[in-house]
Every structure is written in C-alpha cells, then in structure tokens.
Structure 1
Amino acid sequence: MTDANAEPVSGRPTAPWRKTLRRLFGHRGFVIGAVILVIMLVIAVAGVLGVTGDPLAISYKSRLVPPSQEFLFGTDHYGRSIFTRVMAGAHLSLVIGASVVAITAVLGTLIGAAAGYFQRLDGIIMRSMDALMAFPPLMLAIAIAAALGMGLVNLVVALGVTYTPRTARIARAAVLGVRRAEYVESARLSGASDSRIILRHILPNSMAPLVVDLTFVFAYAILAEAALSFLGVGPPPPTPTWGNIIAEGRDYMVEAPWISIFPGLIIAFTVLGLNMLGDGLRDVLDPRLNAS
C-alpha cells in the first residue's frame, strides 16, 4: 500500500514558499479578502480608462435622480453619475492608500530597524515615535495636512508620517527578535558590516509581521483619506475621491441619501476586504499562531 502523505518519488521536499501559498489559499478569510481587493483594482482600472464615462460631466436635467437602470447609484446635485464618480474615486483612493503604505513601509522599517539593531539609538528614536503616537492619528493627520496645505501629495505625506510610528514599533520588535540569532552572530563574526547584516539577514527574516501590519495601514489610510476629504483637508473638489463624494452629499441626506450611502458602502467593502486579507496573512505567517 502507498502512503498518501508520503513525499514524492523524486524525494524533493516541498519548498517553504509553496507551503505558505497553499496555506494562504486554503484560508477562507484571505481568499475572500483577496477577491474583494481584486474587484476593487478592476474597478479602479475601469475608472482610469473612463469605461463608465466622465466623472465630471454635468447634466442639470438629471439632478438628484434616484438609483435607476440608467444611473445605478443615482446622480448628485450637478447631475453627475454617482456610479461613475465612485468608479473614478476608486483609483484615487487606492493610489492614496498604496502611496501611504509605501512611505510607511520605507520610513517605518528603516526607523524600527535602526532602533532595534543599534541599542544606543533605541531610546531616542522610540521616544520620538511615542511622542507622535500620543496624538490621535486623525488629529495628527489633520494638523500636518493643514500645515502643508490642500492637495493629493500633501495628504499622502500627512498620512505617511501619521502611520510611520506604528510600523516602526512593529519593525523594532521584529528586529529585536532576530538580532541575536545564530546566523546574525555568524555574519557579524565573519566581518560583515552593520548595513549588510540588517539588509541581508535581519530584515528578510522580519518581514512577516510588517507585511501583515501594512495591510491594515492600507485600510486605515483609505478611511483616513475619506475622513480628511470630508473635513475639507484632502484633495479639493471636484476631485472624485470617496471622501469628497460623501462630503458633497451631506447637504442632501434627506432628499438624496444615495449620494453619500453608495461611496460609504464601497469604503466599508474595501476596508473589510483589506482586514480579512490582513487577518489571513497574520494567521498563516505569525509563527506564534502556527505553533499553537
């Protein structure tokens, strides 16, 4: 009889990355989150290509039309299609979220790695991060965005600075967990420079918790962008971000609630997908959960 769990005849062990992929795609939450994210990416690409039309096209004959076969999400007070604007807003909102993740990943990882590896810098760096984290994230983002001025780039910078301390703390904790590992000590004794040890040995083995954290930063950035645009410190109207669309509909909540409801649902749908994706990554990549 043959054992179903036996290794292949070739005797080659399964590569670790194949095992990880198999576990990820066997995780229901990860799969659902990935599907939602792919759907949002398709919507964003369609919005960029203008598949559904011009999000800035005005038609006063179609003002405040409720959802119908012609206008799936209805129209706003300028007769603009909410569906078209939401599609276009997907691109900007996802670009803002991805840009914030990129800034946070670079700054947070470098700051956290420096604090975790160079003990003499740990106190200074982390106390500075703690000072930034003492402020509520949204309030800190509003202050930075207000100081820099309105605009897409300034909003991304404000959110990137806001969420960097969170990533820095996670990067520091991950580096502290591997800096005393045998392979790191071997590299140090062989004469490798500190930068080489950090880049070639420590960071590659500290990426799992960082990847998980960045999925949640993506979700937080989308929510924060919507909040800041709603408050008037994001990209100026008529830029069709999800936050701007909700803000434009607040004066018409009684007679045309669909203006704010549909972009709000899209935001909730996207954040749900990112959170499920992050939960799946955490369940698979966190060694403490795997050990249990």
Structure 2
Amino acid sequence: MKLGLTDDKIAIEGYLNVLRQAVSNGINKVVLTGSYASTIDPSLKQAFDGSVTTEKDWGNVTEEELLESTDPMYAYVGAKTLAERAAWKFAQAHPSLDLSIIAPPFIFGPLADGFPAPKQAAALSSNRHIYTLLKRSLPPVLPPGFVDVRDVARAHVLALNVPKAAVNVEDKRFIVSGGILVWKDAVEYLHKKRPELKARLPAVDGAFPPFPGTPSTIDVTRAKDVLGVQKYYSWPETLENTVDSLLDAEKIWDAVKA
C-alpha cells in the first residue's frame, strides 16, 4: 500500500490554505507549527548519526519518492519537508507576508486547561507514546528529541514579536527542543517517582530496543538568541505532568465507555 500521495497533499495544502486565507484577509504576520522532521532525511539516518541539527538542515525527498513509499514514517517525515518548503516558497512569492515557522521534535505535555480532552486515546497525537507506557508497552524506536507543549506555545508567542526577515524569509525558521527523552529512562523514573503506577508500566529490567545509532543533537541557539527561549521544561517535568493529565483524561474515557 502506497501512502505518500495522501500525506503529501494533506500536509502541503494544510499549510498553504492557512497562508492563502491569511493573505487574502489582510493578515500579514503568521506563525506556523512546523516540525523538526523537515530537517532530517525521511530514512531517519541523520537522526541517528550523532550530528548536530540546525535550522539550515533539510530533509532530502521528492514527491515521486513519497508516491513510491510504503513506510508510514517515511511518508510522514517526507511530507513535513515538502509542506514546509511549499510554505517558504509561498512566503517568498508574497512579500507582504511575515512568516515564522516553529519546528519542534515530538511534542509532549499536559492537555490544555479549559479545553475538552480528546474523546479517545487514539486522538492523543504525540502524547500517545507516553500513554503507551501506561499500557505496559513500549513506543516504536524513533528519534528521541522532545519538547514540552508549553514551551512550543511560548515560542509561537515570542515569534510574533520578531521583526520581518530582511533578506531570506527562512531566517524566521526556529527549532525548539527540550533535549531527548529515552523510554528506558522514563520507565525507570516513573517506577521510582510514581510507584502506584508500577503495575501499569513496562518492567524496568525488560528489553528496550536500542537506537540504530547515536541520536543527533538539536541546536536551539537561534531560538535562544532570536526568540528569547532561555529555558525548557525538563523531561522529568514533562513526563510527570503528561502522565497526570493522561490519567485525568482516562477517567473521562472510562466514564464514556460505562
């Protein structure tokens, strides 16, 4: 089953529709939520070669390659790259548009206060990986970069105050990251800090699949120097806050089932 066509068109049109609507309605300053995925090759080799990723890095993929892909992750990563490329091309063609793109790795964190929780666990997006731990299972082996959703939100607000790029529109591309979150470390931490959850968690001495190489480092210097993002939530803070939020959401799901 080939997957690239759907992912490609949905991602690209999703970005471009927002930008078209903004420009047509006289909105000139836009901050989009991009993805760190656009900075790495869809094969994920760059994510595990021990290199340092910056805003100057891009994944290398064509629409034809996505059309031939049968790997969901390859299609996802490649679509993010093509979609962001299309957004910057649009910004270049519309000088009135002041575009910023925040590019985070996996986003974890508590659900927003005052907003309805997802109606089911399947709608959790990245948080489903942490919820997987509460099902005594391990998420797939993926690049371990993470950032707290609250830091991502803060970066979006800060980007609104950054002046328009003078020459290169892509100067307003910003990677934000809180570091890496390794599932073995997460499981060990929760066993220690939240002993009441032990029966729900994978065993500490269980088999944790290794990374295929050395995880690459995400350089957040530009987000610090230009946006002013000086500090990020640590993975233990994000992990515990997310778990608490998911347990609250679970009560709602259970009540609906009942």
TM-score with structure 1 length normalisation?
0.22
Q: Identify the structure with the greater strand proportion.
A: 2
Q: Identify the structure with the greater helix proportion.
A: 1
Pair member with larger Rg? 1
TM-score with structure 2 length normalisation?
0.24
